[in-house]
Structures are given as structure tokens and as C-alpha cells.
A = this chain, B = another copy of it.
Amino acid sequence: MKEQAKNVLYAQAGGVTAVINASAAGVIETVKSHPEVFGKAYAAVNGIKGVLEEDLIDLDDVPQEQIERLKYQPGAAFQACRFDLDPLDHNPGQYRRVLEVFITYEIGYFFYNGGNGSMVTAQKVSDYCREHGHPVTCIGVAKTIDNDLALSHCSPGFGSAAKYLATSFIEATLDILSMHETSTKFFVMEAMGRNVGWLSLAPGLVKDIIPDAPLIVLPAERPFRQEAFLNRVKELIETHGYCVCSVSEGLVNPDGSYVTITGIEHTTEQDYTQLGGVAQTLAHMVSTEIGCKTHCAIPDYLQRSASHMVSQTDWQMAYDAGKASVEAAVNGEHGTLPVVEKISDEPLSWQFKSVDLQEVANLEYQVPEEFICDNSLCVTDAALDYIRPLIQGERTPQFLNGLPQIQPLEFKTIERQLPPFIAHK
């Protein structure tokens, strides 16, 4: 086994968050602070796909001013792919190619900033390279707005999306409050999160502003019971004059099917069900069954791209996630993912502890029972106590000429050294 190469490769994958670039900055700055360990640093454009296609950026060429701009940039600055390598036995050519790229650029450290699927990819890559005589330390960088990262107190990205949803929902509730007598009596807002309801709980923080808000929360973890839901809507409209509702995009019927889907995408490896629209289903249901005026909001990508509404706590956590991944490598770990371990509650403080990449990839952190009311129609105080610390702190957004100062960052890819990658099976 040859000596481990010293160069670093960083890449982003999966759904972006409002703070993923803070993690990027955390990785880049921490790598720079350990010249005794690391050589050059590269980023791949478009995740593992960029590795295959040899689309690489020399991070040593990126001036500090751009790293600063990176820190609050929405989207994924190095582009993030929804693309995983095929299983090794289906497509060994992909793995040979990754190895080839890693050898060519003397990559000894691979920091992959993605969700569960990406973690599995990173680990497969690392194993393959090691087996072929080129050891690569692979460390994951934690990230997801969905908050479903197992073994972690919470996920970087969640706090900002939660802050966005809570703020938006509170403002909209004040709108409804002021017009419900003669206008809309039921308002529902849809949160992302696929099969977990964490984001749908965040609007429950409306209770910090309006303690007896007539609120219904429908997280994905509880099967939807139409009659109970409609009865509760009726009840709240009777007692309060209106009803506001937060629903998970992944709400399911008692038989396990999604209440609403956008469509099914068929790919060669698997089918992918696209969610979105359950808010409209519910608004229409209430309008038809109860007969009042309803409105629905589907923020969609807005909840994960809102750099003007970043939670400073979440931002710091995301930065620390990048830093912790690099430090894990410095400490000689490999095949791990540093996750958040809470140290104290008030104020919230944390450290990162490493878990096994494979182990965490197979788990999903669902909303625990005690965070949802017994009637499955609301969020408990315990849940709000959990979320509240994660949304603390704001950074005054930088505007110029009325718009946020978020011009896209431009990075030049370096000249390729290898022939083009021919994707084949």
C-alpha cells in the first residue's frame, strides 16, 4: 500500500440547504489551517458526477474574498448532484474512473457534503480505492433540511428552513387573523421533508406569538385521517373563526400511500416518486366538505434557498460540520460522518462526534412520538422546545439596489488531464 496522498477533494450532493456553503467554507478554511496534513485542495463541480467528468476547481486559486461570499450564498456553490454511482457490479467503469481521477490529482482525502445516499456513495468510493492500492480517507459532511439524519441531535440546514417556515407561517396567520370574518377561514402551508415531518412542525412556533392559535399540524409520521381532520377544522373555525394548518409533503393515508404526489419518475435503477401538492388537496377538501374559503401556500424551494432568513445557530452548526469533518480526517478517522451532539440546552451548545458512515446511512431520524399530539393533529411543546434553539439568531441580509447581494460565484475549472469519461454499463 503506498503512502496516502495528501490532496483534498470536496464535493456537494443532494438537496441543497441555505447553509451548505457555510459547510464548504468550514472545510476549506480548516484544510488551510492544517498545512502539515493536507496538500492542495480541489472541489468537484456537481458532486461525484464532476469527479467522473473531471470538472475540478483548484481551491487554492480561490481568493479569500470569494470564500467570504461563499458563506451566505444560496444554492450549492460547487453545484450539487442528484446522482449516485451505480452498484459496483453494475458499473465498475465508474469506480475505475473515480480511482483514476483520485490518482491523477493525488487525492487522499474526500469530503462529501451530502445526504444519506451520498454517504453510501462516498464510502463505496473509499473502499474501492483502498482495495486498489490508493487509500482515500472519506469523511462525510452532514447536511439536510429534512432533519432526518440519524444519531445526530439535528441536521445542518434544518434550522434555517424551520426559521423560514415559522416566520412565513406567523406572518400569514396574522393575515388570516385580520380577514377571516369575511374571507379565508382555512389556510394551509406545505413543508418539505419527504417521509419525515420535522419541517412541518416548525410553523407550530406560531404559538410563541399567538399562544392559542387555532393550529393543525400534519406530519408525515402519522397517517392522515380525513374525518378527524375535518372535525378539528370545523371545531377550530367555530371557536376561533379560522384555522391554520402546516402539512408535510409526504403525508400518507392509512394504507401507506401518499395523500398527494406530483408524479413518478422512472429511471434505470429505481422509481422516484415526486411529492408536492398535498396542501392543495387539503384546501380543496376543506372548501368542499366544510364550505368556507380556503387558501394554500407551497413555498417549495423557497424554504431551502432563503439566504435572507438564515438562522445564525444553523449557520454556525453548518460551518462547524465542515470543520469537524476535516478535523476527523486530521485525527486519522475514515469512513465516518461527524454528527451533532448537544452539550447544553440554554444556551444551545454542541460538539461533533463521529459515527460510522454506513451505519448512519441506513437509518432515518423520524419525528419521535412525544413531539406529536396523541390526536395526530398537532405539535407538542416538547417539539417546539427542541426546534426553538435551532432557529435563534439572524444576520442582517446584505441588499444592494433593493435585491440581495448574491451574485453567483464563478469558479474556473482546471484544464483536464484525462480523456473524457464515456458513461457506459
Contact = CB atoms under 8 A, between A and B. Distances in A.
Interface of A: 12, 15-16, 46-47, 49, 73-83, 163, 166-168, 170-172, 174-179, 181-184, 187, 205, 208-210, 262-263, 265, 274, 276-277, 280, 283-284, 287, 293, 295-302, 304-309, 311, 388, 391-394, 396-397, 399, 401-404, 406-408
Nearest to A166: B403
Given A75-B178, A179-B76, A302-B168, A391 B403 contact: yes
Contacts of A74: 171, 174-175
A15 B403 CA distance: 25
8 contacts: A47-B182, A75-B175, A81-B181, A168-B302, A168-B306, A171-B307, A205-B402, A280-B280
Contact of A175 (B205, B208, B301, B394): B301
Give the copy number. Answer: 2
A286 to B, nearest CB: 11
Contact of A301 (B176, B304, B404): B176
B265 A293 contact: yes
Nearest to A188: B300
A182 B308 CA distance: 26
Contact of A75 (B167, B174, B208): B174
A187 B301 contact: yes
B301 A297 contact: yes
Nearest to A404: B167
A280 B181 CA distance: 29
Which of A83, A300, A406 neighbours the largest number of chain B CB atoms within 10 Å of its CB?
A300
Contact of A308 (B81, B274, B304, B309): B309
A402 B406 contact: no
